[in-house]
Structure 1
Amino acid sequence: MLFVNLNSFNNQDYERVKEATEFLKNTDLTATPLGRSHQDGERFYVQTLEYTTESIDNFQFEIHNKRLDLHYIVEGEERIDVSPDTSYTGLAEYNSDRDIQYVQEPQNINQVLLHKGDFVLIGMHEPHRTNGFITKPSKVRKIVLKLGR
């Protein structure tokens, strides 16, 4: 599933998706080290996370200007809220070192429920918040592939 607003769709942004899914298929994702790994310059890196999900309301929406986020669930389940509305109001200045800006909650929100083996691709400038539980807190191991141009 690819969910995107046509006005913000850029074919160039998605050229690395095939490479990313091949990485997921051919890597032991239970053994990737926590934190950042598999760096390929500015174009690609892996962020491995482990946490227990919480109420989605505990988290702020964020956007990225340099990279797509491909969230893949290795273990557990998680709710992610995503908005196709790329007209957002910042809550803080953009942090170029971390490629992140926290933004106000958008009016239009789509809930994405991910289970083991599922992934969602979140485009640049698409507000999203993660780490939400679906029905109850769940221990999650997640791979976030950060895909640059």
Structure 2
Amino acid sequence: MKRIVWNEPERVARFVAALTGEDEYRASVAIGLECDGELVAGVVYQLYTGPGGSLLMHVASDGTRRWMTRAYLSACFRYPFVQMRCRRVTGLVRTDNLEAQRFDEHLGFKREGLLRQGCTDGTDMIVYGMLASECRFLEGKHHAALARPA
């Protein structure tokens, strides 16, 4: 059974950090997805600039496609665009991670620029952005059922 994990940000952040090669994510919010009790995906949000602004979004999964449900993707995009009232979301992807580039572009992110030697090992990073007006996951049959638990 799949379950969206709203209230365990440290656990989800550790999962994402382990898969993205980060030591940790500080000052973050995270939403995960479990399948039969195991985390299979996580999204970490950082650097929120306030309503009307933006935040940075980090995504990681167990490598399977079983987590890419419309309900989970809707939850992951409704958090920044609806709950936090951001105008944009930013993602950073290594230039040598072609799978992540294809994934971001499939979701609707637009390539906006390049951070030369942006990684600690000197690899360049691509800047991806998505505006709220471009996000196809905000409307549809799943968004009404996604209210966060009290």
TM range (shorter): under 0.3
Of structures 1 and 2, the one scoring higher in RCO (CA 8 A, sep 6+) is 1
Q: Which has the higher strand share?
A: 1
Higher helix share: 2
